[in-house]
Amino acid sequence: MGWILTGFALIAVIDLVPLILQRRGRAIAAFLTVFVIALTIAVLPALGVQIPPVLTFFDKLFKSIGLSY
Protein backbone atom coordinates (compact mmCIF):
# COMPACT_ATOMS: atom_id res chain seq x y z
CA MET A 1 0.00 0.00 0.00
CA GLY A 2 2.98 2.25 0.50
CA TRP A 3 3.73 2.17 -3.22
CA ILE A 4 0.16 3.20 -4.01
CA LEU A 5 0.33 6.22 -1.73
CA THR A 6 3.80 7.13 -2.98
CA GLY A 7 2.62 6.96 -6.57
CA PHE A 8 -0.43 9.09 -5.91
CA ALA A 9 1.67 11.62 -3.98
CA LEU A 10 4.03 11.85 -6.93
CA ILE A 11 1.12 12.37 -9.32
CA ALA A 12 -0.29 15.09 -7.07
CA VAL A 13 3.05 16.91 -6.92
CA ILE A 14 3.57 16.74 -10.67
CA ASP A 15 0.02 17.64 -11.72
CA LEU A 16 -1.58 19.58 -8.88
CA VAL A 17 1.18 22.00 -7.91
CA PRO A 18 1.24 23.77 -11.32
CA LEU A 19 -2.54 24.17 -11.19
CA ILE A 20 -2.31 25.74 -7.75
CA LEU A 21 0.46 28.09 -8.86
CA GLN A 22 -1.62 29.18 -11.86
CA ARG A 23 -4.69 29.58 -9.60
CA ARG A 24 -6.98 27.58 -11.90
CA GLY A 25 -9.89 26.87 -9.56
CA ARG A 26 -12.07 24.78 -11.87
CA ALA A 27 -9.14 22.66 -13.00
CA ILE A 28 -8.11 22.08 -9.38
CA ALA A 29 -11.65 21.02 -8.47
CA ALA A 30 -11.85 18.64 -11.45
CA PHE A 31 -8.42 17.18 -10.69
CA LEU A 32 -9.22 16.63 -7.02
CA THR A 33 -12.54 14.99 -7.81
CA VAL A 34 -10.97 12.46 -10.17
CA PHE A 35 -7.92 12.07 -7.90
CA VAL A 36 -9.95 11.23 -4.79
CA ILE A 37 -12.10 8.72 -6.67
CA ALA A 38 -9.03 7.03 -8.18
CA LEU A 39 -7.22 6.99 -4.84
CA THR A 40 -10.22 5.42 -3.13
CA ILE A 41 -10.57 2.75 -5.81
CA ALA A 42 -6.83 2.00 -5.55
CA VAL A 43 -6.63 1.85 -1.75
CA LEU A 44 -9.75 -0.21 -1.01
CA PRO A 45 -8.55 -3.42 -2.71
CA ALA A 46 -5.18 -3.01 -0.99
CA LEU A 47 -7.07 -3.08 2.30
CA GLY A 48 -8.94 -6.23 1.26
CA VAL A 49 -12.29 -4.63 0.43
CA GLN A 50 -14.15 -6.24 -2.47
CA ILE A 51 -15.31 -3.69 -5.06
CA PRO A 52 -18.12 -4.89 -7.35
CA PRO A 53 -17.72 -4.38 -11.09
CA VAL A 54 -19.03 -1.06 -12.41
CA LEU A 55 -21.03 -2.79 -15.14
CA THR A 56 -23.09 -4.55 -12.48
CA PHE A 57 -24.13 -1.15 -11.14
CA PHE A 58 -25.07 0.11 -14.61
CA ASP A 59 -26.97 -3.12 -15.37
CA LYS A 60 -29.12 -2.65 -12.27
CA LEU A 61 -29.58 1.05 -13.03
CA PHE A 62 -30.72 0.45 -16.61
CA LYS A 63 -33.04 -2.39 -15.63
CA SER A 64 -34.63 -0.23 -12.93
CA ILE A 65 -35.61 2.39 -15.54
CA GLY A 66 -36.78 -0.25 -18.03
CA LEU A 67 -33.78 -0.38 -20.35
CA SER A 68 -31.57 -3.29 -21.23
CA TYR A 69 -28.53 -3.66 -23.36
At 18, which amino acid appears? P
Q: What is the DSSP letter of 68?
A: -
Model confidence at 20: pLDDT above 80: yes
Helices 25-46, 2-22: axis angle to 10 degrees equals 180
Q: Does residue 69 lie in a domain region?
A: no
At 2, the pLDDT band (50, 70, 90 cuts) reads very high
pLDDT tens column, 4-19: 999 999 999 999 999 9
Report pLDDT for 62.
Answer: 92
List the domain range (segments joined by +) for residue 9.
2-64
Report pLDDT for 57.
Answer: 87
What's the total number of domains in the chain?
A: 1
H helices present in 1-69, as ranges:
2-22, 25-46, 54-64
pLDDT tens column, 32-68: 999 999 999 999 999 999 998 888 888 999 999 998 7
Give the max Cα distance, the chain: 48
Spatial neighbors of 39 by CB under 8 A, at least 6 apart, are 8
